[in-house]
Structure 1
Amino acid sequence: MNIKNIVVVSPMHKELQRLITAKKLQKNFRFLPEEHFTEQDLQWADTLVAFNMKATYNFSHLQWVHSLGAGVDKFLFKKKWNENVLLTRTICSFGQRIAEYCLSYILKDLQYHDQFHAFKKEKKWQPMTPKLLSEQKVMIYGTGEIGQKTAKIFSLLGVDVYGVSLSGKQKEVFTEVIAVDNHLSRVSEMDYFINTLPLTEKTEGLFNEDFFNNVSNSGFINVGRGASLNEAALLEALDQEQIRFAILDVFSEEPLPRNNKLWEHPNVWITPHISAVTTPVEAVNCFIETLKNLEEGLPLSNKVDITKGF
């Protein structure tokens, strides 16, 4: 593959330009925010580096598209893709970041942080015995790199971790991996659920009324994709106490509209898609490594399987 013209489209284009320029690559670059990106820029390029493209473009003439995030649904979900165009994604500290994000909320729950803070406001001395992580069962949806890293960290702390994947293929960091077609068979046993799945036609709306009707008094964390969650079903499950609380970092529409009912629910915590942020340094390092491997004919660990969608 002969890469010559690369257009980088990102809100952090200036920082990416500074870091990439310092590498002194023998390539032609254009660095742009999306609002300045035009069809002429796309036609000039043989490679696109971007992530959350809001407009729809035809990438079929390109040689390579590199996602600055772990997800590629903005390029593939319900879209046609020319299989001759290589698609890769960013792999960096996402797993570590997501594991720590999820762990922080689960520990907050087990240690009764909110209850003790409420007691403090009332100047109320009321002991409660915190629960142990080692007594909890957690089901992680998604057993790829992010899911495995999260499972490994939780397992080291004594948590009994189950996985759900499209194939159900067993992986050593999980107590058991269940195929997504059979995931409801074990959900009633779980204390917490963590979604890290990519968005595909099989995962769209996965967390729906059927799912919530099979769980009881659990915690739900979504760091995968917003469209995997039926928000109305979640709100009903919260009101019925099938779900005790929900931690939501991703949404079908971002930013989350001010009139969305999730904002008002007392047992919903909202963060603005920050559980696994791509830093400029990590983004550039992954891009440079992928470019190097591509030009040297080495295997690409971050190549996307177009048929699977991730």
Structure 2
Amino acid sequence: MDIKNILVAGKYEELFQKQITNDESLNFRFIPVDEITLDDLSWADAYVGSKPCSNFNPSNLKWVHSFNAGVNNFLEIDGWKEDTLLTRTICSFGERISEYCLSYVLSDLQFHKYFKEKQVEKEWATKTPKMVKDLTIVIFGSGEIGQAVAKTFHRFGATVYGVSLSGKQKEFFKEITKPASAGPLLTLADWVISTLPLTKETMKLIDDEIFNHFKGAAFINVGRGATVDESAMIEGLNSGKIRYAVLDVLTAEPLPNDSALWGRDDLIITPHISAVTDLNEAISCFIETFSNIEKKEKLLNQVDFSKGY
């Protein structure tokens, strides 16, 4: 694959210019994503950025590299050729998301909210913290992110189950099953964590049928917002099937001011920060990917168009 002209979209211009534009065989254009023209796209062999520009057309591109782990915003666009390469950023996302999930689980086990309330009330009230090793955790998605989360909780001694479209068994999971067979596992769960990417198959996959199996489990979504039927989730919270929810991703981002989710005491909302892209890591991933392309080596971050990830 002969790549000479690289169009970089977004806020990464200065770091790119410092690190890799000394290669005289490459031509770069660094243009804010909302200023990219059709001429820029026609000129480019490769497009690099966090999201497609408004006039994005992949038909003339040889390679598209996303600075994010999720690529649904690119896949939603028509015009892809069979031989166009799409890659995504793989860096410390798994570690970051694992720590995000672990922080909320530990806070819950250690009764942080309870003790803060007692502090305000000036009440010396004891309550024995619980331990991760006594938990049963079900993780939706067994890809790189799901495996990283499973690894973290497995090392703390938790019993970890997985749910994936393939049902293929993987390390750190006691068992992995397909969604249609997940009911018995969900009834055992103390926590259910979704790391699902957004594809046609995962759109609203976590729906009322899934939530109805909950027996008071807490729920974390660090995958994609649209993989969850939010109306069904609200019903689950109202009924007590879902004890508590932590949402880092939502169907609408930013969440509208009039959303009913804002005012609930039984959930926490964070603005898609569980795995913020580190600029240096993102550029390192791009450089490594480009090097592997030139060497015709296997790409571990290549997107399978049929799967959507």
For the aligned pair, the TM-score class normalised by the smaller chain equals: over 0.9
1:166 corresponds to = 165
- Distance in 2 between residues matched to 1:110 and 1:245, nearest whole Å: 13
- Work out whether residues 222 and 249 of structure 2, in 8 Å CA contact, stay in contact via their aligned partners in 1: yes
2:115 corresponds to = 116
* 1:110 to 1:54, Cα distance in 2 relative to 1, 3 A: farther
TM (norm. structure 1) is 0.95
2:231 corresponds to = 232
- Give the secondary-structure state (helix, strand or coil) at the position aligned to 2:226: helix
1:217 corresponds to = 216
What is the one-letter code of the residue matched to 2:88? R
Shift of 1:179: 1.5
- Work out whether residues 5 and 28 of structure 2, in 8 Å CA contact, stay in contact via their aligned partners in 1: yes
- Work out whether residues 65 and 87 of structure 1, in 8 Å CA contact, stay in contact via their aligned partners in 2: yes
Q: Deviations over 1:15-51 (max 9, x none)?
A: 4444444x64631111222122222211111100112
Q: Which deviates further from its counterpart, 71-80 or 37-46?
A: 71-80
What is the one-letter code of the residue matched to 1:248? L
1:52 corresponds to = 51
* 1:238 to 1:54, Cα distance in 2 relative to 1, 3 A: farther
2:206 corresponds to = 207
Q: Which deviates further from its counterpart, 251-260 or 293-302?
A: 251-260
The aligned runs of 1:1-310 (5 Å cut-off) are 1-21=1-21, 24=23, 26-53=25-52, 55=54, 57-77=56-76, 79=78, 81-310=80-309
- Distance in 2 between residues matched to 1:115 and 1:18, nearest whole Å: 50
- Give the secondary-structure state (helix, strand or coil) at the position aligned to 2:58: coil
Q: Deviations over 1:165-203 (max 9, x none)?
A: 111011121110112332234211101011111101111
Q: Deviations over 1:224-278 (max 9, x none)?
A: 0010011111111111111111111112221111111111111111111110111
* 1:184 to 1:31, Cα distance in 2 relative to 1, 3 A: farther
Shift of 1:54: 6.2
- Distance in 2 between residues matched to 1:295 and 1:169, nearest whole Å: 32
- Work out whether residues 7 and 32 of structure 1, in 8 Å CA contact, stay in contact via their aligned partners in 2: yes
- Work out whether residues 64 and 87 of structure 1, in 8 Å CA contact, stay in contact via their aligned partners in 2: yes
- Distance in 1 between residues matched to 2:205 and 2:53, nearest whole Å: 24
TM (norm. structure 2) is 0.95
* 1:205 to 1:299, Cα distance in 2 relative to 1, 3 A: same
Tell me how many residue pairs correspond in the alignment.
309
Q: Deviations over 1:197-221 (max 9, x none)?
A: 1101111101211111110211111
State the structure with bigger RCO (CA 8 A, min sep 6), 1 or 2.
1
- Work out whether residues 5 and 45 of structure 1, in 8 Å CA contact, stay in contact via their aligned partners in 2: yes
Q: Which deviates further from its counterpart, 286-295 or 27-36?
A: 27-36
* 1:159 to 1:78, Cα distance in 2 relative to 1, 3 A: farther
Q: Deviations over 1:79-133 (max 9, x none)?
A: 5532210011111000100000000000001111001101111011111111111
- Give the secondary-structure state (helix, strand or coil) at the position aligned to 2:192: strand
- Distance in 2 between residues matched to 1:142 and 1:293, nearest whole Å: 27
* 1:77 to 1:140, Cα distance in 2 relative to 1, 3 A: farther
- Give the secondary-structure state (helix, strand or coil) at the position aligned to 1:258: coil
Shift of 1:57: 2.3
Gapped regions of structure 2 (runs ≥ 5): none
- Distance in 1 between residues matched to 2:195 and 2:116, nearest whole Å: 30
- Give the secondary-structure state (helix, strand or coil) at the position aligned to 1:263: coil
Aligned CA-pair RMSD: 1.6
- Distance in 2 between residues matched to 1:91 and 1:264, nearest whole Å: 35
